[in-house]
Amino acid sequence: MMNDNLSKEFDRITDLGNASSAESTEKLLAFVQDMEASGPEPFIPLLADIALVRALIVHLVIRYGPERGPVEARDAFNTTFDQMKPILENMEKAKGHPPQ
């Protein structure tokens, strides 16, 4: 009985995390796309992308320390990329190849 309750609580927390992650992703994507639309060159979105990555790395280093933080950042990138790969492949098929 206790394991069932714990399992349900973990599932609930995971669902909340996924929903929050999706909402945050949408907000960050909208921000980067707004910057891209307002900039004269593709250089501007690249700066936004770099800033987002750097913010994540700094956040994780502050949270986990200088040894574990970069490891967590790499794990976060790899896990996210693996999860997003099918979605990105479907987007590429639908839109064709991105501009170079």
All structural domains of the chain with their residue ranges:
2-95
Q: What is the pLDDT of residues 19-63, one digit of tens each?
A: 666 777 777 778 777 777 776 666 566 677 777 888 888 888 999
Separation between Cα atoms, residue 20 and residue 90, nearest integer Å: 23
Count of C-beta atoms within a 10 Å radius of residue 58: 12
Which pLDDT band holds residue 81 (cuts at 50, 70, 90)?
confident
Q: Residue 66, by phi and psi: left (phi above 0), alpha (psi -120 to 50) or beta?
A: alpha
* 96: pLDDT strictly greater than 80: no
- Which residue would you say has higher pLDDT here, 97 or 76? 76
Per-residue model confidence (pLDDT) at position 18: 65
Per-residue model confidence (pLDDT) at position 82: 87
Separation between Cα atoms, residue 5 and residue 9, nearest integer Å: 6
